[in-house]
Amino acid sequence: MESPLTFPCIFPIKVIGIAGERLEAEVTAIIDRHAPCADPDISVRASNRGKYLAITIRLRAESRQQLDDIYRDLAACKQVLMAL
């Protein structure tokens, strides 16, 4: 299936998970593994009660396959509850 996106492009990924040091480290490691040269812009926001973190990553995506691989690894990560 052909992607409606034109690559390369700046692509936002939002990750939601249980707050803790491991979440941010795991997400960063996944992004670095699949996009080592992307120099992503990462912002982190805690929920009102601090139980959850929302991590937004804006990176230069080179292909649909690269994004699929990132989402697959994020879905397999135990600290990640949701990746959008």
What is the set of domains in the chain, with CATH numbers?
Answer: 9-83 (3.30.70.260)
Neighbours of 74 (CB within 10 A): 22
Global model pTM greater than 0.95: no
* Mean pLDDT within 21-35: 94
> What is the reported pLDDT for 56?
98
Residue with tokens 């034109």: 6
> What is the reported pLDDT for 4?
84
